């Protein structure tokens, strides 16, 4: 396996080894300094790289290339171009440096949030050499950023790269004040991805799953997750075969998929890769989500990535494990051994705490989608309230910090921190609190609010930018006075200002909601509640200060997020109306007729017959049918009247009017499902769907 794995891993990736083999020494060196230091690549080298990529890709079976990018909505976008060209009337393959570096997709159909007016609808894609190109199927994929001609970001990668630059710059300034040597600081990310696998046959019988990725109706199966027998349970053979093929697919593409297991709910699973640089982890998570769906198809399965496919069953999230590493091998969130290490650790820890407190709203926004609203705050996922978990010991240690903590005598410093052995607390501290949205787990923070279908770009843009902006303030202060006294003073001041964000208790409890309110923390429950904060002065200023977003770019993102919430919810509402009108209501009526006939026939046969059961059932069904019919009419009315609303007003109208009626409609139909025979019911129920994969 070892050798086999080593040859397999990254075999479809234009990585360092391939570059070495295919490029001249000069081109290789230049490309490396472009990758590592952002140095510009001259066109002759670009031509050589393009040529090498083409040769390598063709030999891997590629006939086309694509500039692969991450638009503001959807998973990823690609437009394929052939390598084919003509020279003196002969067909040849060609791919120039210019084609590698810059593309001009016909991008007018991608959302821009108003950044492009139609007369300049085109944008361009720009090669991101820090993320390796790869071959998939017959195509060479070139990771790119997507911008307007005015240089405004129209994608998720551009601001992510900018936020990494900002973090690098400010962290290096702080490290310099601390006397720590490093040339580069990189945010590192390991995203754990949850998903459901169901049988394709049942999937195709449910229009809600097909159109919305989740069930809009359906009542709990007699067996759900009560037995908790699924979690870490043995993996079923069909799922095992899927996982094996998925791993191989991912490994070929250089995605370091590592752990896989069943999750809490039936049919739910998780995959975690080994952490990588934030940009690459983001590309790899996109590749992973796409591969999950494609590989599932090959096995007659469907992979559901939506956050809450089934009511009453755990939803799927994504845990974004985040830390900062230097090129010299130091994890800035690792406590280290010496008093100097400790000082560095507490300073960076404090920066993260301050950043999360000041930009709670942005963290919430970074995971805000219509479908994640179904999950956040339910008793299975972190609440919509953002807080930081450090564990009691680290919290105590942070508050006990004084100047003596960081004297040369490391023994003394450990003692004066109030803990006998710091390394051991780091070990048992990991993961004790699963209810926290943002938990310190030893040497990284784990943001647990992401929905399973979220791109991780959003959250990392916010984390990197917010922490960079705080480090910038710290650097400004410490560049004036970098004495230990002043560093400790800064830590103490910031910890006491931002301690309200620290919470080690049960994040799922009702008491926390009350307590958080007292502390003045945000509780932005839904997407329409939080989105307007994206364009508050505080947040615009922060993003501008670290050069991640201009005001117009934020306005564009705001408009796009509002729009996708609206579109998503309207599709769900229309699907519900259609399912009810075409199938549920007629099915209930049909069953009622059958009961009514039974009553009549029984009474004809014997006048005094007791028909209590039938009459009761008929009465209940008629009530449910009438109520459901009224709900549908109300919903139809809203779907018409909403057309004269726009933007956030429209989103709020959906939240306040449509969603409550949708919930009522579902309740009525689900109640009918519980008393109607399976044979009459028009759609397969939860039991069939959740236990469809054997």
Helix (H, G, I), strand (E, B) or coil at 141: strand
Q: Of ligand ADP, Mg ion, none, which one does residue 436 interact with (CB within 5 to 8 Å by kind)?
A: none
Q: Of ligand ADP, Mg ion, none, which one does residue 105 interact with (CB within 5 to 8 Å by kind)?
A: none
CB of 439 to Mg ion, least distance (A): 9
CB of 372 to Mg ion, least distance (A): 17
Stretch of 317-325, 334-342, 458-466, 671-679 lying at the interface with Mg ion (CB under 5 A): 317-325
What are the angstrom distances between the C-alpha of 280 and each of 253, 254, 461, 515, 615? 12, 10, 13, 39, 63
| Contact by Cβ (8 Å): 632, 665 | yes
Nearer to Mg ion, 136 or 319 (CB): 319
Q: Of ligand ADP, Mg ion, none, which one does residue 11 interact with (CB within 5 to 8 Å by kind)?
A: none
Nearer to ligand ADP, 140 or 281 (CB): 281
Strands (DSSP E) found in 489-606: none
Enumerate binding residues for ligand ADP (CB under 6 A).
Answer: 188-190, 192, 259, 272-275, 319, 321-323, 331, 431, 443-444
Stretch of 65-73, 109-117, 319-327, 564-572 lying at the interface with Mg ion (CB under 5 A): 319-327
Which residue is closest to ligand ADP by CB? 190
Q: Of ligand ADP, Mg ion, none, which one does residue 274 interact with (CB within 5 to 8 Å by kind)?
A: ligand ADP
Torsion angles phi and psi, residue 596, rounded to 5: -60, -40
Pairwise CA distance, residues 92 & 379, whole Å = 60
CB of 7 to ligand ADP, least distance (A): 23
Q: Of Mg ion, ligand ADP, none, which one does residue 568 interact with (CB within 5 to 8 Å by kind)?
A: none
Nearer to ligand ADP, 66 or 314 (CB): 314
Burial pattern 150-169, b for ≥16 Cβ within 10 A else e, equals: eebbbbbbbbbbbbbbbbbb
User: Which tokens in the block code for residue 43?
Assistant: 């066109």
CB of 443 to ligand ADP, least distance (A): 5
Pairwise CA distance, residues 161 & 184, whole Å = 14
Task: Please state at what angle helix 551-579 crosses helix 537-545, rounded to 10 degrees.
Answer: 120
Nearer to ligand ADP, 265 or 585 (CB): 265
Q: Of ligand ADP, Mg ion, none, which one does residue 73 interact with (CB within 5 to 8 Å by kind)?
A: none
Nearer to Mg ion, 156 or 319 (CB): 319
Specify the residue for token string 């300034």.
173
CB of 189 to ligand ADP, least distance (A): 6
Residue 284 interacts with Mg ion (CB under 5 A): yes or no: no
Nearer to Mg ion, 230 or 318 (CB): 318
What sign for the dihedral angle of Cα 52, 53, 59, 60? Answer: positive
Q: Of Mg ion, ligand ADP, none, which one does residue 657 interact with (CB within 5 to 8 Å by kind)?
A: none
The DSSP bridge partners found for residue 65 are: 81, 140
Pairwise CA distance, residues 560 & 94, whole Å = 37
Pairwise CA distance, residues 363 & 353, whole Å = 13
Nearer to ligand ADP, 214 or 342 (CB): 342
Q: Given candidates 157, 206, 230, 319, which one binds Mg ion under the rule CB under 5 A? A: 319
Kindly write down the DSSP assignment for every residue of 309-358, as one continuous string.
SSTTS---EEEEEEEEEETTS-BTTS--SSHHHHHHHHHHHHHHHHHHHH
Nearer to ligand ADP, 206 or 444 (CB): 444
């Amino acid at each position: 396996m070892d050798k086999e794995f080593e040859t397999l891993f990254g075999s479809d990736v234009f990585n360092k080894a391939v570059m070495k083999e295919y490029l001249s020494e000069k081109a290789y060196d230049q490309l490396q300094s472009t990758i590592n230091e952002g140095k510009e690549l001259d066109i002759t080298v670009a031509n050589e790289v393009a040529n090498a990529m083409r040769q390598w890709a063709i030999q891997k079976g590629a006939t086309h290339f694509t500039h692969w990018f991450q638009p503001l909505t959807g998973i990823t976008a690609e437009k394929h171009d052939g390598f084919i060209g003509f020279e003196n009337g002969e067909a040849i393959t060609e791919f120039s440096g210019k084609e590698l570096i810059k593309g001009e997709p016909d991008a007018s159909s991608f959302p821009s949030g108003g950044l492009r007016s139609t007369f300049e609808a085109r944008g361009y894609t720009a090669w991101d050499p820090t993320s390796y190109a790869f071959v998939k199927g017959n195509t060479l994929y070139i990771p790119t950023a997507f911008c307007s001609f005015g240089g405004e970001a129209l994608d998720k990668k551009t601001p992510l790269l900018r936020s990494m630059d900002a973090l690098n710059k400010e962290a290096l300034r702080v490290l310099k004040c601390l006397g720590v040597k490093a040339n580069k600081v990189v945010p590192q990310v390991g995203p754990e991805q949850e998903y459901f696998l169901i049988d394709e046959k049942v999937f195709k019988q449910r229009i809600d799953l097909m159109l919305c990725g989740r069930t809009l109706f359906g009542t709990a199966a007699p067996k759900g997750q009560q037995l908790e027998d699924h979690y870490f349970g043995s993996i079923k053979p069909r799922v095992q075969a899927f996982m094996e093929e998925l791993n191989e697919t991912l490994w070929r593409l250089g995605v370091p998929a590592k752990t896989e297991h069943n999750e809490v709910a039936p049919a739910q699973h998780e995959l975690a890769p080994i952490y990588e640089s934030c940009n690459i982890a983001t590309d790899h998570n996109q590749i992973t989500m796409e591969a999950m769906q494609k590989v599932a198809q090959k096995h007659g399965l469907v992979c559901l990535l939506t956050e809450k496919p089934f009511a009453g069953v755990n939803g799927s999230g994504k845990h974004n494990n985040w830390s900062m590493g230097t090129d010299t091998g130091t994890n800035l969130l690792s406590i280290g051994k010496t008093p100097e290490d400790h000082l560095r650790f507490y300073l960076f820890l404090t920066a993260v705490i301050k950043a999360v407190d000041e930009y709670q709203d942005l963290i919430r926004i970074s995971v805000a989608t219509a479908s994640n609203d179904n999950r956040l705050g339910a008793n299975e996922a972190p609440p919509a309230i953002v807080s930081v978990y450090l564990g009691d010991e680290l919290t105590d240690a942070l508050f006990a910090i004084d100047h003596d903590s960081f004297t040369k005598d490391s023994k003394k410093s450990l003692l004066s921190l109030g803990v006998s052995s710091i390394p051991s607390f780091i070990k048992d501290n990991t993961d004790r609190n699963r209810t926290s949205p943002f938990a310190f787990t030893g040497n990284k923070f784990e943001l647990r609010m992401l929905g399973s279908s979220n791109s991780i770009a959003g959250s990392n843009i916010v984390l990197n930018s917010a922490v960079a902006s705080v480090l910038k303030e710290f650097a400004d202060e410490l560049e004036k006075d970098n004495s230990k006294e002043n560093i400790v003073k800064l830590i103490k001041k910031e910890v006491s200002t931002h301690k309200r964000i620290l919470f080690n208790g049960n994040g799922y409890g009702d008491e926390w909601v009350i307590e958080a309110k007292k502390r003045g923390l945000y509780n932005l429950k839904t997407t329409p509640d939080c989105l307007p904060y994206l364009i508050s002065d505080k947040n615009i200023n922060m993003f501008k200060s670290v050069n991640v977003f201009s005001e117009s770019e934020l306005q564009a993102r705001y408009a796009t997020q509002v729009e996708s919430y609206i579109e998503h919810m309207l599709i769900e509402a229309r699907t519900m109306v259609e399912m009810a009108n075409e199938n549920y209501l007629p099915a209930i009526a049909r069953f009622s007729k059958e009961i009514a006939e039974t009553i009549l026939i029984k009474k004809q046969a014997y006048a005094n017959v007791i028909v209590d059961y039938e009459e009761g059932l008929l009465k209940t069904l008629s009530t449910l049918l009438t109520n459901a019919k009224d709900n549908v009419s109300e919903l139809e009315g809203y779907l018409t009247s909403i057309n004269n609303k726009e933007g956030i007003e429209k989103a709020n109208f959906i939240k306040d009017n449509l969603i409550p009626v949708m919930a009522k409609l579902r309740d009525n139909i689900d109640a009918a499902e519980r008393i109607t025979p399976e044979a009459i019911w028009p759609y397969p129920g939860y039991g069939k769907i959740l236990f469809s994969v054997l």
